[in-house]
C-alpha cells in the first residue's frame, strides 16, 4: 500500500519578506502653535514616536535621565548585593577550610591515640600470654615432679609393706610354738 504525500510536499521555498519602509505622514499644510513649540508645514515628520533612550527633545530628556539614573541605582544596588554575597561566601569558605584543618588535626590526634592504645593493649595481652605460658609450664613441671615423687613414695611404700610383711611372718613364725 502506497500513500501519496505530494500534496504535503513543498515545491518551492517561500521568498524572504521585504523589510517594511517607514511610513511618513504629511502634516496639515497649515502651521499651528502649541504651547511654546510650533510646528511648521514640514512634511518630513516620521509617523513613529521618539525612542526615550535616543530622543533629545527637552520634554523627553528628563525622563531619559531619570530612567538612566534609576537604572544606575539598580545596578549599584545589585553590585553591592553581589559583593556582600561574595564576601559572605568567602567568609564561609574560609570558615569551612579552617574547620577542615581542625578536623584533620583532630582525626590525626585520635589516630595516634588509638594506635598508642593498641600498642599498649597488645603489649599487655602479650605479657599476659607469656605469664600464662610460664605458669602453665610451671604447673606441668610441678605435676611431673609430683607424679615422680608419688611413684617413688609408692614404690618405697610397697617395698616397706613387703619387708614388714616378711618381718611380721618371721616374727609370727618365731612366736608360735
Q: What is the pTM of this model?
A: 0.39
The domain in which residue 78 lies consists of 60-133
Domain for residue 31, yes or no? no
C-alpha cell at 18: 521585504
Q: How many domains does the chain have?
A: 1
pLDDT for the residue 5: 76
| pLDDT for 4 | 80
Spatial distance between the Cα atoms of 102 and 93, rounded to a whole number of angstroms = 14
Instruction: Give a yes or no: residue 168 inside a domain.
Output: no
The reply to whether 36 falls in a domain is no
- Find the angle CA(172)-CA(174)-CA(177) to the nearest 5 degrees: 95
User: Which residue positions in the chain have pLDDT lower than 70?
Assistant: 1, 10, 12-61, 177
Phi/psi at 46 (nearest 5 deg)? -85, 145
pLDDT score of 41: 47
**What are the C-alpha distances in Å from 88 to residues 73, 84, 92, 99, 157?**
22, 6, 6, 16, 100
Per residue in 72-100, pLDDT tens? 999 999 999 999 999 999 999 999 999 99
Whether 24 is in a domain gets the answer: no
Residue 25 CB partners (closer than 8 Å, separation 6+): 45, 47
The owner of cell 611372718 is: 169
Look at residue 121 in the predicted model and tell me its pLDDT.
94
H or E stretch at 171: helix 58-175
Q: How far apart are CA 146 and CA 143, in angstroms?
A: 5
Amino acid at each position: 500500500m502506497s500513500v501519496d504525500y505530494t500534496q504535503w510536499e513543498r515545491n518551492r521555498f517561500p521568498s524572504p519578506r521585504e523589510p517594511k519602509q517607514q511610513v511618513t505622514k504629511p502634516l496639515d499644510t497649515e502651521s499651528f502653535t502649541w504651547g511654546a513649540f510650533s510646528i511648521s508645514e514640514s512634511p518630513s515628520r516620521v509617523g513613529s514616536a521618539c525612542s526615550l533612550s535616543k530622543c533629545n527633545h527637552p520634554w523627553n530628556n528628563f525622563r531619559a535621565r531619570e530612567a538612566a539614573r534609576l537604572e544606575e541605582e539598580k545596578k549599584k544596588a545589585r553590585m553591592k548585593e553581589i559583593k556582600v554575597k561574595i564576601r559572605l561566601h568567602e567568609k564561609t569558605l574560609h570558615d569551612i577550610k579552617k574547620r577542615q584543618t581542625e578536623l584533620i588535626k583532630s582525626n590525626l590526634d585520635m589516630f595516634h591515640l588509638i594506635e598508642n592504645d593498641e600498642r599498649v593493649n597488645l603489649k599487655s595481652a602479650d605479657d599476659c600470654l607469656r605469664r600464662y605460658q610460664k605458669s602453665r609450664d610451671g604447673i606441668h613441671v610441678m605435676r611431673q615432679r609430683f607424679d615422680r615423687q608419688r611413684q617413688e613414695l609408692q614404690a618405697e611404700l610397697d617395698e616397706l609393706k613387703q619387708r614388714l610383711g616378711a618381718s611380721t611372718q618371721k616374727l609370727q613364725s618365731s612366736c608360735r610354738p
